Structure 1
Amino acid sequence: MPESVILEGRHVRLEPLSAAHTDGLLRAAGESRDTYAYTKVPEDREAMARYIEEALQDQASGAALPFAVRDVRREVLIGSTRFLDLDYWTAAPAWPAGRSVPRSGAVPTVAEIGSTWLAASAQRTPCNTEAKLLLLTHAFDVWGVFRVTLKTDARNARSRSAIERIGGRFEGIRRAHTLAVDGTVRDSAYYSVVAEEWPGVRAALEARLA
């Protein structure tokens, strides 16, 4: 199971999610819900507490590492994100040239970044870009993963565009993948960044934030 960590940049700080974040996240989620049609964002305190509890259960099992996202300039919570679907290969193949991060049961081999939502006031700002840069940097440079997956409801054009802007490469549509937030059967659009692509993706993200 990976250790909890604080990831901080100029715009955001990703803090290990805890029950103490409940009220702050509820305020963030209540700004406006116009962009949450395809995203699970709790509406009331009971739902938010349950959302956090379930995320922490996933963390305890080693499957996820959830964060609360804080705007460091305003010192307010603006949303949540997490590593999820963490997988630990017991017999990883040979590392590419120049990569020799040792494997251990505490270090994922592949990961996904998802369950991301931001308050309305934080959308279309540098916050999401920097949060993704912090997460990708930790995944590739600290854990040494082979791949980071990103996925979203295939209908969510806003989310798909955001993933493409940060450098995710479209892999395809997984049809009838899961139950959607609106209760329909969801097709999921899959994207990824692999280790060989990471230096270019990192440079592009840093340039966007400059």
Structure 2
Amino acid sequence: MLRPFSLTGRHVRLEPLSTEHVPGLAAAAAEDRSSYAFTRVPDGLVEAAEYVRAALTEQAGGQVLPFAVVRSSDDVVVGSTRFLDLEVLGRPGVILPSDAVPPDGVEIGSTWYAASAQRTAVNTEVKLLLLAHAFEVWQALRVTLKTDARNRRSRAAIERLGARSEGIRRAHTTASDGTVRDSAYYSILAAEWPTVRDGLRRRLAAAGRAPGPVTVPTNRRSH
């Protein structure tokens, strides 16, 4: 299975999610919950503890790698994100990815931030770190992103990354409000990554925040 790892940029650090992050996640989610209408975000310490427990259970199943998002300037937890739906293609007998056989396809999702981290460089750099790892270390073929089709703010943020729309999957899953939602699907392919990467770097630079070095493991795929 894939071993958890950290990713470090100039503005944020992605740490493997653990029970130590529970108080920080609860505090981050409590700042202002008005933007969480379409997002599952824990409310209070009890829900934060269950959120982490459930994420770690999924991680033990080999299909999820969850992270806490930590702001570098003050070491404060400002949210969470994860790799999920990790896929290995064309490898007979291989079901779960591992460090030796990294995923060919992956989704980035279950992302949320504290109100103080929204509309800052945080999300741009988080996506830069995750996408760089997926395409440059794992050498993945594609990265998927999806959101509730009603969530115009999230869809706009995904589109600003440079991801391409794949359409709407109707009556796809249960929404955070308990209804059945349609999901808007987007993807980035390996051939598109250099353009997306350059766009993310330009966005950080335009905000006066040049991207720092991306620190990632060196277990690159050999093929």
TM-score by length of 1: 0.92
CA deviations on 1:77-97 (whole Å, 9 max, x unpaired) are: 0000000011122439xxxxx
Task: State the distance in 2 between where 1:44 and 1:27 align.
Answer: 8
- Matched to 2:111, the amino acid is T
Answer whether contact 1:3 1:106 (CA < 8 A) is retained.
no
Report the number of matched residues: 200
| 1:162 counterpart = 2:148 | no
The answer on 1:149 being equivalent to 2:149 is no
Cα drift, residue 3 of structure 1 = 1.6
Alignment partners' CA distance in 2, 1:28 and 1:67: 14
State how far apart, in whole Å, the 2-side matches of 1:137 and 1:129 are.
12
Alignment of 1:77-116 (within 5 A): 77-91=77-91, 106-116=101-111
CA contact (8 A) 1:2 1:108 kept: no
- 1:43 and 2:50 matched: no
Change in Cα spacing, 1:105 to 1:90, as seen in structure 2 (3 Å) is farther
**What do the CA deviations read for 1:54-95 (whole angstroms, capped 9, x no partner)?**
111111111010000000012100000000011122439xxx
Identity, % of aligned pairs? 61
Query: 1:124 pairs with 119, 122, 127, which one?
Result: 119
Q: Cα offset for 1:202?
A: 0.4
Gaps of 5+ in 2: 93-97, 206-223
Kindly indicate whether the alpha-carbon contact (under 8 Å) linking 1:16 and 1:66 is maintained by their aligned counterparts in 2: yes
- 1:126-147 deviations in whole A, cap 9, x for unaligned? 0000000000000000001100
AA in 2 matched with 1:5: F
- Which one has more relative contact order, counting CA pairs under 8 Å at least 6 apart? 2
Instruction: Pick one of 180, 188, 195 that aligns with 2:190.
Output: 195
After the TM superposition, list the runs of 4 or more consecutive aligned residues in structure 1 that deviate by more than 4 angstroms.
103-106
What SS is found at the alignment partner of 2:77? strand
Larger displacement relative to structure 2 (141-150 or 53-62): 53-62
Residue 136 (1) aligns with residue 135 (2):
no
Q: Does the aligned pair in 1 maintain the 2:3–2:99 contact within 8 Å?
A: no
Aligned to 2:19: 19
Matched, 1:185 2:193: no
- The alignment yields a C-alpha RMSD, in angstroms, of 1.3
Per-residue deviation at 1:109?
Answer: 1.2
Instruction: Write out per-residue CA displacement over residues 85-120 of structure 1, whole angstroms, 9 at most, x where no aligned residue.
Output: 11122439xxxxxxxxxx976411100000000000
Aligned to 2:59: 59
Q: Which runs of 5+ in 1 are unaligned?
A: 93-102
Mapped contact 1:39–1:181 kept (Cα < 8 A): yes
The two structures have a TM-score, normalised by structure 2, of 0.87
Q: Deviations over 1:173-196 (max 9, x none)?
A: 000000101111100000000001
- Native 8 Å contact 2:69 2:81 kept in 1: yes
